[in-house]
Amino acid sequence: MKKLILFLILFSTIVININAQVNTLPCATHIMTKKEFDKNPEFFLKNKQKLDSITNIFNINKRYGESEKIIPVVFHILHEGNPVGVNENISKDQVEDAIRLMNEDFQGTSTDLNNVIGDFQSIIGNPNVTYKLAKIDPNGNCTEGITRTYWEGTGSANDDAKQIVFWDDSSYLNIWVVKSIDGNIGAAAYTYLPSTGGPNFRHGIIANHEYVGSIGTGSNSNYVRHTLSHECGHFFNLEHTWAEWADVGLASNCNEDDFVADTPNCIGSYSSCNLSSSTCGSLDNVQNIMDYSSCTAMFTQGQVARMQAALNSSVGDRVDLWQENNLWATGTHPNYQEEECLATVDFYIPNGSSCINSEVQFINNSYNSGENPTYYWSFPGGEPSNSYDENPIVTYSSSGSFNVSLSVSNEAGTAYQTINNFISVFDSNPILSSITESFESNEFPITSDPLSDWEILEQITENTWNRTETAASNGIASMRIRSRFFSGENEHNLYSPFINLSNYQTPVRLYFDYAYAKRNSQSDDLLRILVSDDCGLSWTERKDLTTDDLVTNGGSNISGVFLPNNSQWEEEYVNLNPWSGSPSVKIKFEFTGENGNYLYLDNIRLELEEISIKEDEINNKILLKKIDLLGRKTTKSRFYIEIYNDGTVKKYYKL
């Protein structure tokens, strides 16, 4: 029975995976390239004209069979902390399988070519391009051509991925592997044509991990196997076979062109394979890799000429990739003697925290580890205090911040990393039954009682939450943070102590004062308030305040330092009713953003409204509930309502 259940789970997972792939737009290059064109059409058209000129020369001279060109490649795997080989943190084997498939398509050795119908056999083209994983990184260090980086944005990735990790795109083809591409884009993968973007534009391919290779989280379906080859076609200036920038399946595509003479006009196919399809008056080349069909296999000779033209042009720096000096610099030259790399040591735990006597799963995310590496962990204060497991489980019997070390050994030697104060262990048995915090102590976040301490789990500097006496809504001090020098979605968290709510009924609310101004029109900030009742292993969002929500100064941009006056503070609250009765609750103020001015927090307090039953002395009515409320975006609209047994509701303002 257990085997049957396991089979059903695996079968269901496979079916869900296949269905997800079939229902996903295979490519969003035409959408993204059009967006960039709209930003700078003159730049795009100028570059396109250059490429078209050299492409015409290649076509006239029938340059369909150029000498081999080697392209150095790096895969940047952006993960959520999963162990290597799990979900989006794909294995080295899966990366190497993806490279194999790309080379089969670009060397004309794919067995799928045997299935190309006779009408198109004579025009099958061989790009003669070889992709190789880089062996030397931009700093001259040994690499396996793979990086692994924890990034919370990997589940909704877009061009922001390029800001997380990037190697010079005139030396490497960057491929970012993510958990999922932003739903507003909604695609398996995308890239940009060489003529796209300005001098600082970052070129490369962004791909959902399920469309990388045919093993692991990938699939051996034709629909998936050729995804990266399709994107490489775009990278080297190929359009979809039906049109420039148009969606697939439109009748109007018959009047459009992909600028390749030997690809028949068509409307394009999607996930099907009708080999007799003739959508625009001639037989469609549905087996073309630049189509969306389920049986793609080939490039045409005209497409090869167009790609070779891009490879020989300075537009988009594609010509720099395969030059001999770059092949030596990236370790991809045929005569380069490959070396075994020292591992790049990296490890992870969810949330960076735990509680006394709770099990903590440490996850190894090291890379460049070679074959059969060995691991040695050190956990001062933990049990066990050391481990040879790749992903050990550890418990801590006392609270505090603890160092963690990991050594990874292979044939090249041993690499290690120690991270001080890597894990914070909390005592989840709180003595607090309420919070009133105005940051008046210059020792904050430390208090006289360790159980009352707040936490900022990073070095406290001007670039994170820090106490200031330059502004306050209550007393002389507040907490502040600004995102002027931030990038991406790095979180900056302020944690409350644990609070005991076991003796309270609803409603329970956490109030706080805040002040904020935009720095400029590009300011993009977010404050989220989250709650955990399992020692920080999971968090539930209770409120989020976006840039416009946060503004308290009327909306004016402040290019200098924002210092709020008394009228520029507002009050907000978070409903904690779901945790009423919980013995151990922790609150997190999470800030992310970029290009912003200061956000100030002050006067954080927990107010517990008691539900009481009493007689109204004047009307002899029974008061059932008294509920304290807050009107949105102004401190002058706080009020409470009284509900009586006869249905009467009274509303009182607290001015």
**pLDDT tens, position by position, 322-379:** 999 999 999 999 999 999 999 999 999 987 888 899 999 999 999 999 989 999 999 9
Burial class of residue 178, CB neighbours in 10 A (0-12, 13-18, 19+): buried
Give the confidence band of 488 by pLDDT, cuts at 50, 70, 90: low
**pLDDT tens for residues 551-602?**
999 999 999 999 999 999 999 999 998 998 888 899 999 999 988 999 999 9
101 — pLDDT class (breaks 50, 70, 90): very high
Q: Examine the pLDDT at 3 and tell me if it is beyond 50.
A: no
* Continuous segment of H or E residues that includes residue 409: strand 400-410
Taking the C-alpha atoms of residue 291 and residue 38, their distance in angstroms, rounded to an integer, is 24
What is the pLDDT confidence band of residue 650, given thresholds at 50, 70 and 90? low
Quick check: 637 pLDDT over 50? no
Query: Which two structure tokens, joined as six digits, stand for 329?
Result: 């610099």
> CA–CA separation, 578 vs 540, rounded Å?
10
Of 55-69, 229-243, 371-385, 640-654, the one with minimum mean pLDDT is 640-654
What's the confidence (pLDDT) of residue 649? 53
Model confidence at 214, in pLDDT bands (50, 70, 90)? very high
Given a cut of 90, is residue 61 above it in pLDDT? no
421 phi and psi angles, rounded to 5 deg: 55, 40
Phi, then psi, of 5 in degrees rounded to 5 = -60, -45
629 pLDDT higher than 90: no
**Window from 331-335, 437-441, 608-612 with minimum mean pLDDT:** 608-612
Amino acid (1-letter code) at residue 189: A
Q: How many Å separate Cα 159 from the centre of its chain?
A: 10
**What's the token pair of residue 373?**
């590496």
Query: Does the pLDDT of residue 12 top 60, yes or no?
Result: no
Confidence of residue 541 (pLDDT cuts 50, 70, 90): very high
Q: How many residues does the chain have?
A: 655
At residue 12, the 3 state secondary structure works out as helix
Q: Is the pLDDT of residue 19 over 50?
A: no
Q: What is the DSSP string of 327-393?
A: HHHHT-STT----PPPPB--EE-GGGEEETT--EE-EE--BS--SS-EEEEE-TTEESSEE-SSS-E
Of 58-62, 336-340, 394-398, 564-568, the range with the lowest mean pLDDT is 58-62
pLDDT of residue 476: 96
Q: Which residue has the higher pLDDT, 643 or 563?
A: 563
User: Which band of pLDDT confidence, cut at 50, 70 and 90, is reported for residue 417?
Assistant: very high
Query: What residue spans define the domains of the chain?
Result: 22-330, 351-426, 436-608, 614-653
Overall fold of domain 351-426: Immunoglobulin-like (2.60.40)
Q: Is the pTM of this model over 0.85?
A: no
CATH number of 22-330: 3.40.390.10
% of the chain surpassing 70 pLDDT: 87
CA distance 174 to 439: 46
DSSP codes, 282-303 = S---TTBTTSB-TT--BEEHHH
The SS3 of residue 79 is strand
Choose among 452, 430, 426, 455: nearest CA to 356: 426
For 436-608, the fitting CATH number among 2.60.120.260, 3.40.50.410, 2.40.50.100, 3.40.190.10 is 2.60.120.260
SS3 451: helix
pLDDT surpasses 60 at 614: no
Find the mean pLDDT for residues 173-188: 94
| Percent of residues, the chain, with pLDDT higher than 90 | 69
Confidence of residue 206 (pLDDT cuts 50, 70, 90): very high
Question: Residue 123 has what pLDDT?
Answer: 97
Q: Which residue has the higher pLDDT, 463 or 100?
A: 100
